[in-house]
């Protein structure tokens, strides 16, 4: 029973809902690489988006109507979104064994966090917009909604590899008979002549050069490099199958020298250097890669300044 007496003003709820839902829709479109591109994947996300926007927008209406029980239940519903993250992580972890080039635990965690955070963001945008509409009217509410969506979008789109790392094509070659090099970065030892032939004929390589300290700390992160390999293989394909482990795409640091650069070698299905470079540049920078910027002693080397 509503104790406020007067008719309920629905406009905060409607505008808040629209803003929250829209904010989630935008991130579905821009975050394509984060999600399974199947209709069922989109449907479940849309359903969650509707629920999140609904919760965010109706809290204020419930509070104004002095329906504290309803408001409490809404916050309870919001906590249910915690499960979204572990569900997403579980799905991706199970997929890990089925794909040839794994994403790596760091990338999976990043995707799961983003997935969860975007639902909360939709909720927050809906809440802010609903509050603004409630107290300042529809016009200002609409403006606040648009600002909230834009701010949320800027806040949520993290840096990409291309922002801090230069990606250039490089030649694959073998030294000392069997050591695979990309440019001057040693990748691995390929013992089988058959695989060496294939690398020489069809292999592609790129060199990743950090633009600064941040870029270098990102590259030293092994989870980040696994994510790069995964995105590279997803873009141009990889001639790899069970029983061909040496044909897996690799992303390794320029190691005996420790110059901070990395090389990537891949046996592509489609030899498209443009697509490969673009895919690497669009790989998101993982949150796990952000911590080491100040602590790693190698970053204080003079040549990086």
Partner 1 sequence: MADAPTPIMFAIVTTNKEAVHGGMAPVFVAADEPERDRIAMWLCRITNCIAHDLHNGTIILTVNQASV
Distance (Å, whole) CA 245 – CA 166: 28
Per CB under 8 A, 95 contacts partner 1: no
Q: Are 61 and 12 in contact (CB under 8 A)?
A: yes
Q: How far is the CB of 217 from partner 1 (least distance, A)?
A: 15
Q: Which of 7, 37, 245, 297 binds partner 1 (CB under 8 A)?
A: 245
Per CB under 8 A, 248 contacts partner 1: yes
How many CB atoms lie under 10 A from the CB of residue 254? 20
Q: Which of 94, 242, 303, 305 binds partner 1 (CB under 8 A)?
A: 242
Per CB under 8 A, 91 contacts partner 1: no
Q: Are 169 and 201 in contact (CB under 8 A)?
A: no
Q: Of 47-55, 175-183, 228-236, 268-276, which part binds partner 1 (CB under 8 A)?
A: 175-183
Q: Which spans in the chain are helix H?
A: 11-30, 39-64, 68-79, 82-96, 105-136, 138-156, 161-164, 193-202, 213-220, 222-236, 273-281
Query: Between residues 217 and 248, which has the closer beta carbon with respect to partner 1?
Result: 248
Q: Which of 137, 191, 212, 258 binds partner 1 (CB under 8 A)?
A: 191
Q: Of 73-81, 118-126, 143-151, 239-247, which part binds partner 1 (CB under 8 A)?
A: 239-247
Helix or strand run (H / E) with residue 266: strand 262-266
Q: Which of 189, 200, 212, 258 binds partner 1 (CB under 8 A)?
A: 189
Distance (Å, whole) CA 181 – CA 247: 14
Q: Which of 5, 7, 37, 243 binds partner 1 (CB under 8 A)?
A: 243
Distance (Å, whole) CA 242 – CA 160: 31
Q: How far is the CB of 89 from partner 1 (least distance, A)?
A: 15
Distance (Å, whole) CA 43 – CA 246: 39
Binding string, 103-132, against partner 1, x = CB under 8 A?
A: -xx---------------------------
Distance (Å, whole) CA 113 – CA 90: 12
> Which residue do the tokens 């092994």 mark?
222
How many CB atoms lie under 10 A from the CB of residue 114? 21
Distance (Å, whole) CA 300 – CA 261: 15
Q: How far is the CB of 279 from partner 1 (least distance, A)?
A: 21
Tokens matching residue 134:
């409630």
Footprint (CB under 8 A) of partner 1, residues 5-64 = none
Q: Could you tell me how many residues of this chain bind partner 1 (CB under 8 A)?
A: 22
Q: Of 30-38, 129-137, 149-157, 190-198, which part binds partner 1 (CB under 8 A)?
A: 190-198
Distance (Å, whole) CA 120 – CA 132: 18
Per CB under 8 A, 178 contacts partner 1: yes
Q: Of 42-50, 152-160, 189-197, 279-287, which part binds partner 1 (CB under 8 A)?
A: 189-197
Footprint (CB under 8 A) of partner 1, residues 216-235 = 222-223, 226
Residues making contact with partner 1 (CB under 8 A): 104-105, 176-178, 188-194, 222-223, 226, 242-246, 248, 250
């Amino acid at each position: 029973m509503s104790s406020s007496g007067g008719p309920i003003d629905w406009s905060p709820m409607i505008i808040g809902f629209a803003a929250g839902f829209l904010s989630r829709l935008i991130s579905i479109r821009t975050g394509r690489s984060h999600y399974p591109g199947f209709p069922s994947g989109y449907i479940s996300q849309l359903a969650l988006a509707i629920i999140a926007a609904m919760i965010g927008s109706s809290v204020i209406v419930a509070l104004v109507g002095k329906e504290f029980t309803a408001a409490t239940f809404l916050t309870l519903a919001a906590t249910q979104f915690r499960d979204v993250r572990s569900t997403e992580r579980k799905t991706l972890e199970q997929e890990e064994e089925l794909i040839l080039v794994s994403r790596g635990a760091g990338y999976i965690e990043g995707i799961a966090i983003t997935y969860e955070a975007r639902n909360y963001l939709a909720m927050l945008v809906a809440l802010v917009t609903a509050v603004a509409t409630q107290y300042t009217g529809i016009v200002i509410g609409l403006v606040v909604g648009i600002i909230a969506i834009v701010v949320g979008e800027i806040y949520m789109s993290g840096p990409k590899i291309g922002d801090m790392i230069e990606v250039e094509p490089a030649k694959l070659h073998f030294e000392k008979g069997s050591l695979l090099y990309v440019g001057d970065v040693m990748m691995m030892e390929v013992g089988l002549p058959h695989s060496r032939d294939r690398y020489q004929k069809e292999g592609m390589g790129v060199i990743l050069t950090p633009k600064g300290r941040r870029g270098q700390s990102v590259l030293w992160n092994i989870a980040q490099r696994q994510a790069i390999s995964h995105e590279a293989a997803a873009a141009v394909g990889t001639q790899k199958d069970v029983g061909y482990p040496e044909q897996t795409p690799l992303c390794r640091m320029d190691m005996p020298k420790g110059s901070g650069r990395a090389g990537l070698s891949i046996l592509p299905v489609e030899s498209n250097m443009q697509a490969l470079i673009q895919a690497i540049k669009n790989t998101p920078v993982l949150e796990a890669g952000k911590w080491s910027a100040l602590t790693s002693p190698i970053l204080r080397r003079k040549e990086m300044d």
